[in-house]
C-alpha cells in the first residue's frame, strides 16, 4: 500500500461501514473479534502476544469507533485470557455504547484441551464465568455455539431463561443451519447468527443463512471472513486472480477486499475481524469504507462460486 492509502487507513473509523442494531443496541458494522488477542493463532496454538500490546490494540479499536467486541471465556492461551484483557483495557467503567458479545456452548479445560459440549444445565455457569471475567452484571448478547447437536432447543431454552432472569440482554446462535434458526426463534428472539462464511469458501447451506437473516432482519456475523480456508490458523494466502485485481484497483490489501465483499452481502452483515497488530486493525476498519462496483462484486461472486479461471496462491479458493 502506498503512503496515501496508509494515511487514509489511519483515520478511517468503524462508522464508515454504517450501523446495524442488535436488538436495541446500535453497533457499527465493523467490530472486533478478540480470539487472536491471546496468540498468533487460535487459542493455545501460537506464541502468546505481549499483554501491553494486546491492551493497546483494544484501546485503539475503541478510538477508531469500534463498539462491538466478540469474545468468549474459552478464548485463552497459556498466558492470556481475552476476557481479562478486555476488562483490563476497557473496564472500570466500560465506554458508553460498547456492546460485548460472548459465546457459550463449547467446554474447554484450563489445560487448553477441549471437552464435550456443555449440557444445558451448565450454560448458566458459562455465562457467569464470562460475567466474572469481564466484570459485568449482565451480558449484552450471548451466542449459543452449536456443537453438532441435531436440536438446539434445550440449550437455547436454558439461555432464554437466563435472559428472563436479567443475566443476558439478547440472544444469538452460532454454527447453525436454517432449521436451527427456526427452532430458536420459536423459543425466544434471535438478534444475530454467527457462522463461518468467507469469500472463496462456498457451501450452499452456509450461503443460505446470510440471505435468510436478511429477510428476517437479523444480523449475520461471519467468522473467518479474512482467514478463509485457513480458518483458525490465520489469514489465508490463497487469493484468486479476480480478488487480486480488485485489490489493485482500490490500492487495498486482499484482506481488505475480503472484508469489503463480506460487508457488501447486505446491510445486516457485520464483520468482526480480529488481530493483535495495530496496523492490521487500522486496515480492517478502513475496509468498511471501500465501495465495490457491481462489476467487481460480480467478479468476486463468480470467484466465490469457483467460476473464475485464474488462481494464485498454493491452493486457490477452496
Supply the residues annotated as catalytic: 75
Retrieve residue 256's grid coordinates: 481488505
Q: How far apart are CA 70 and CA 288, in angstroms?
A: 17
Phi, psi of 282 (to 5 degrees): -60, -40
Please, what sign has the CA dihedral across residues 45, 46, 49, 51?
Answer: positive
DSSP SS3 for 94: coil
Selection from 195, 238, 191 nearest residue 217 by Cα:
191
Element (H, E) at 63: helix 51-63
Please give the DSSP secondary-structure letter assigned to residue 25: E
User: CB-based contacts of 63: which residues, under 8 Å, 6+ apart?
Assistant: none
**Alpha helices per DSSP H over 79-177:** 82-90, 123-134, 153-164
R_g of the chain computed on alpha carbons: 19
DSSP 3-state of 31: coil
Please report which residue ranges of 91-235 form alpha helices under DSSP H.
123-134, 153-164, 178-185, 204-216
Q: Any bridge partners for residue 100, and if so which?
A: 69
Amino acid at each position: 500500500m502506498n503512503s496515501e492509502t496508509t494515511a487514509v487507513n489511519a483515520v478511517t473509523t468503524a462508522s464508515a461501514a454504517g450501523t446495524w442494531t442488535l436488538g436495541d443496541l446500535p453497533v457499527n458494522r465493523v467490530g472486533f473479534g478478540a480470539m487472536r488477542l491471546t496468540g498468533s493463532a487460535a487459542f493455545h496454538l501460537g506464541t502468546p502476544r505481549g499483554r501491553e500490546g494486546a491492551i493497546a490494540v483494544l484501546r485503539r479499536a475503541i478510538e477508531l469507533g469500534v463498539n462491538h467486541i466478540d469474545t468468549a471465556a474459552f478464548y485463552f492461551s497459556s498466558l492470556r485470557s481475552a476476557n481479562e484483557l478486555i476488562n483490563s483495557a476497557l473496564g472500570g467503567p466500560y465506554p458508553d455504547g460498547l456492546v460485548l458479545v460472548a459465546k457459550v456452548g463449547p467446554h474447554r479445560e484450563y489445560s487448553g484441551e477441549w471437552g464435550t459440549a456443555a449440557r444445558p444445565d451448565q450454560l448458566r455457569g458459562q455465562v457467569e464465568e464470562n460475567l466474572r471475567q469481564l466484570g459485568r452484571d449482565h451480558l449484552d448478547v450471548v451466542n449459543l455455539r452449536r456443537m453438532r447437536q441435531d436440536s438446539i432447543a434445550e440449550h437455547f431454552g436454558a439461555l432464554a431463561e437466563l435472559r428472563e432472569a436479567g443475566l443476558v440482554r439478547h440472544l444469538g446462535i452460532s454454527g447453525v443451519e436454517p432449521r436451527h434458526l427456526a427452532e430458536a426463534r420459536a423459543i425466544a428472539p434471535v438478534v444475530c447468527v454467527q457462522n463461518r462464511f468467507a469469500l472463496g469458501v462456498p457451501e450452499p447451506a452456509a450461503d443460505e443463512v446470510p440471505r435468510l437473516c436478511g429477510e428476517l432482519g437479523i444480523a449475520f456475523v461471519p467468522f473467518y471472513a479474512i482467514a478463509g480456508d485457513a480458518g483458525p490458523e490465520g489469514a489465508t494466502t490463497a487469493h484468486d486472480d479476480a480478488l487480486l485485481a480488485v485489490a489493485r484497483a482500490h490500492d487495498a490489501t486482499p484482506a481488505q477486499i475480503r472484508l469489503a465483499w463480506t460487508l457488501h452481502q447486505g446491510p445486516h452483515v457485520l464483520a468482526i475481524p480480529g488481530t493483535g497488530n495495530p496496523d492490521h486493525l487500522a486496515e480492517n476498519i478502513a475496509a468498511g469504507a471501500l465501495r465495490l462496483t457491481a462489476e467487481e462484486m460480480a467478479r468476486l461472486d463468480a470467484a466465490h462460486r469457483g467460476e473464475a479461471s485464474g488462481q494464485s496462491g498454493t491452493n486457490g479458493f477452496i
